[in-house]
Amino acid sequence: MRSPHAGTLQSLSVRNFRLFAAGQLVSVAGTWMMVVAQDWLVLSLTGDSGTALGVVTALQFAPLLLLTLYAGGLADRHDKRRLLMAANVASGVLSLLLAVLVLTGTAGLWHICLFALGLGIVNAVEVPTRMSFVSELVGGDLLPNASALSAAYFNVARVAGPALAGLLIGRFGTAPVMLLNAGSYLATVAALRAMRPAELYRSAQRPARARVMDGVRHMAARPDLRHAMVLVAVVGMLGFNFQLTLPLLAKTEFHAGAAEFGLLTTAFAAGSLLAAFLTTRRRGRPPAAVVVGAALAAGALECAAGLAPTYLWAAVLLFGTGCGCLYFAQAANHHIQLGTDPAYRGRVMALYTLVFQGTTPLGALVVGVLSERFGARSGLLAGGAATLLAACAVAVARLRARGPRPRTPDPIRISPGGTHDGHLADEPRPGPGRIGGGAHRHRPGGPRRLRP
- CA 32 to chain CA centroid, Å, is 13
Number of structural domains found in the chain: 1
User: Rounded to two decimals, what is the model's pTM?
Assistant: 0.64
Has residue 446 been placed in a domain? no
CA trace torsion 380, 350, 122, 355 (10° rounding): -20
pLDDT at 97: 93
- 423 within a domain of the structure (yes/no): no
* CB 371 within 8 Å of CB 247: no
Q: What is the pLDDT of residue 213?
A: 73
Q: Is residue 204 part of a domain?
A: no
- Give yes or no for residue 451 having a pLDDT over 50: no
Among 23, 14, 412, which residue's Cα sits nearest to residue 192? 23
Per residue in 255-306, pLDDT (tens digit) is 877 777 778 888 888 888 888 778 777 767 788 889 999 999 999 999 999 9
Model pLDDT, residue 444:
41
The C-alpha atoms of residue 442 and residue 447 are separated, in whole angstroms, by 9
What digits encode the pLDDT tens for the residues 159-187?
778 778 888 888 888 889 999 999 999 99
**Does some domain include residue 328?**
yes
Q: What is the CATH number of the domain that holds 49?
A: 1.20.1250.20
The pLDDT tens digits of the residues spanning 39-64 come to 888 888 888 777 788 788 778 877 87
Q: Give the separation between CA 304 and CA 384, rounded to whole angstroms.
A: 8
**Does any domain span residue 63?**
yes
Single-letter residue type at 24: Q
In a domain, 106, yes or no: yes
Strands 412-414 and 420-424: antiparallel
> Cβ distance 314 to 308 under 8 Å?
yes
Instruction: Give the Cα separation of 428 and 451 in Å (integer).
Output: 27
Report the pLDDT averaged over residues 420-434: 36
- Of the candidates 132, 198, 148, 146, the one whose C-alpha atom is nearest the C-alpha of residue 343 is 132
What average pLDDT does the segment 346-365 reach? 76
Query: 98-156 pLDDT, tens per residue?
Result: 999 999 888 888 899 999 999 989 988 888 888 878 888 887 678 778 877 887 777 77
Structural domain range at position 22: 14-193+211-401
Per residue in 72-101, pLDDT tens?
777 777 788 999 999 999 999 999 999 999
Distance CA 52, CA 221 (A): 40
Whether 409 has a pLDDT exceeding 90, the answer reads no
pLDDT digits (tens, 9 = 90+) for 320-351: 999 999 899 888 888 887 777 767 777 787 78
Q: Is 444 a member of any domain?
A: no
| pLDDT > 70: percent of the chain | 83
Contacts of 424 (CB under 8 A, 6+ apart): 410, 412, 413, 434, 440, 442
Domain-embedded: residue 206: no
